[in-house]
Amino acid sequence: MEAKEVVTITHVSGMHARASTKFVEIAQRFQSEVMISRDGVNEIDGKSVLGCLTLGVEIGHELHIRVSGPDCEECLTALLDLVRRNFDGV
């Protein structure tokens, strides 16, 4: 199975180190593969903090999230919730 969605980053600092770490911590709770890209370019492993940081995601950028695996829907929902909550203010 596969699920994907695009979400606009609204956190003032974008997807910085602490936000990336929170994203990866949630992604790693699931069996599914998580791939992300900024504005649909250069897809990377969403379970890698370093990978997330290399994207340079800033406020206003679109984050493309693609999840594939047995728990993809639950994983995507959890990740979207985190992004929409502005990474819980970190």
Whole-number pLDDT of residue 31 = 98
Q: Using only the alpha carbons of the chain, give its radius of gyration.
A: 11
Distances (CA, A) of 34 to 5, 8, 12, 25: 12, 17, 24, 12
Nearest to 4 by CA among 65, 72, 70, 58: 65
pLDDT tens for 44-82 read 999 999 999 999 999 999 999 999 999 999 999 999 999
Domains in the chain: boundaries: 2-89
Instruction: Determine whether 89 is exposed, middle or buried from the number of CB atoms within 10 Å of its CB (0-12, 13-18, 19+).
Output: exposed
Res 25 pLDDT > 90? yes
Whole-number pLDDT of residue 90 = 87
The helix or strand, by DSSP H or E, that contains position 52, with its residue range, turns out to be helix 49-54
Per the confidence metrics, is the pTM higher than 0.75? yes
CATH architecture classification, 2-89 = 2-Layer Sandwich (3.30)
